[in-house]
Chains A and B, each alone.
Chain A
């Protein structure tokens, strides 16, 4: 059991891959934004890769362990300390009953994952413990952690001293600039040739108006192909309007002139085009970047995006643990 002394900034229970199968009712999957780090944290403590853990973002929580446990921290460095002693990232650590884990502001990266042997055992909603804050679903009675919460944890048998190989860790950059893969489509043909080139060559700044629903980007104006302006009226009045359609997770959704990457808690449908989509294996970069940082988009094929996801799945296995 984890007692929440300080909640941090919207620290939430998440599992992987989240709440799948309810997209046609408007439910997003939720789940960890950097599932690469998340899965490895679970492996370190002997859990299945998808078991529920904590996603800590920007400012981590302070937690008191009510019983002995084995934990692991991965992803962003939040300068975690256990009873004042630094806790290494990417390594499983034994904690004793009564010890306090204190996490601070994220240094390198943005999201830090805490896995605990046995996994967090909150009530599952529609098959998942992932928190979907906006609708009050999952997590701790539908919300992020709050001071005084006691987070239930299942029995587990973790082993301390296990580490993730250096080569198997996501290369979290501190240079403020990320190269993020995208696939063209579904609606790339609504953007003219110049607009497509501009998208792929420009610097896109991550706006502070970003959250687990959408990542807003600031950059140059978009220009459109003739089909965006010459269309039946039920599409809507803006060039980027289209008859409401389903949104892929990761879609770069063009709301007027503002591109918004639809991430884990994003909407399932709406009336804007999606010229590009960020593939699943590039989501960790979104999860580890901060507002103000720059994205450069690199176009890859669907087959390449699928190969990236396979490679990441292969990394998120026992073979990466020493």
Chain B
């Protein structure tokens, strides 16, 4: 549910957590990101930084510049001014990623897991398809690649995006691995709960995995212009579109990434209008899958 009034909670001497509700719901994330934008626009004194998450937002503040109670009052005022989430417009970029679904690299990671950790583990794509009532891995690919994804939050590892499907016809869910995998290839695309993530580097992981992108979303050497402002690609509020490609095309892009000639395919900052999004969603037949 969405709370009538947001809940404010302290985290030690320098943090405040604001909860907007207690469910996974894009609207709650729009509110969190709307508040983050409003804090910047209103230059609220004493706010060091913000970190929106699915249904909440963490604020890091400087108590010498603003007290906890004053911060709470300021936040309540900004949230009231945000009005209903329909009024929110968020700066958003759109990234297109060539994506090898049902690829050999994530398969190798799953095979290694079944050989060493859990022989019972069903292949992730078949498992996720079955749990979501899809006909099989091929339909999972159509459904998963049929939508833009919304970067709701970043974390777990620097630059790792937690994304939610914007098209409700493409919402699928998946439980996490138990126990987790000890390794996941860099660029792997996976799902846990209702969120999709991309692994910036090879790390352990718990998401169901069934695709891989050849493009860095983390670049400490900043070889590409997309990393001008940071060494990770995404900001909250960005969007991602996975474009299915063959393994041969994946490897071609990988070569261009290696020699530095790859051009990121990105639509620059535009306004994402929550009201226009909601009116589009309202006209969809949610029972239809791709």
Contact = CB atoms under 8 A, between A and B. Distances in A.
A274 interface: yes
Contacts of A243: 22-24, 53-56
A269 B158 CA distance: 11
A27 interface: yes
Interface string B28-54: 000000001000000000001111111
A248 interface: yes
B158 A27 contact: yes
B14 interface: yes
Interface in A179-197: 183-187
Interface stretch (B5-13, B241-249, B272-280): B5-13
A272 to B, nearest CB: 12
B101 interface: no
B63 A246 contact: no
A280 B54 contact: no
A20 B15 CA distance: 13
A309 B22 contact: no
Contacts of A78: none
* Residue of B15, B64, B154 contacting most chain A CB atoms (<10 Å): B15
Interface string B230-246: 11101110000000000
B156 interface: yes
* Residue of B13, B23, B158, B194 contacting most chain A CB atoms (<10 Å): B13
B117 interface: no
Interface in B160-209: 160, 162, 193-195, 201
Contact of A246 (B17, B23, B64, B234): B17
Interface residues of B, number: 48
A26 B235 CA distance: 10
Contacts of A281: 13
Given A243-B23, A248-B58, A270 B15 contact: no
Contacts of B153: 24, 244, 246, 269
A280 B53 contact: no
Interface stretch (A103-111, A155-163, A300-308): A300-308
Interface stretch (A57-65, A166-174, A202-210, A228-236): A228-236
A142 interface: yes
Contact of A183 (B10, B55, B156): B10
Interface string A219-255: 0000000000001101110000001111111110000
A142 B195 CA distance: 30
A268 B162 CA distance: 12
Contacts of B158: 22, 25-27, 132, 135, 137
A246 B13 contact: no
B60 interface: yes
Interface string A5-45: 00000000000000011111111000000000000000000
A126 interface: yes
A274 B24 CA distance: 19
Contacts of A235: 22
A136 interface: yes
* Residue of A27, A236, A269 contacting most chain B CB atoms (<10 Å): A269
Contacts of B54: 243-245
B3 interface: no
B211 interface: no
A126 B56 CA distance: 26
Contact of B52 (A24, A183, A310): A24
B234 A25 contact: yes
A246 B231 CA distance: 21
A52 interface: no
B49 A25 contact: no
Contacts of B232: 25-27
A305 B231 contact: no
A288 interface: no
A46 interface: no
Q: What 8 A-B pairs come out closest when comparing CB atoms?
A: A246-B58, A248-B11, A269-B155, A277-B12, A248-B15, A186-B9, A305-B13, A268-B155
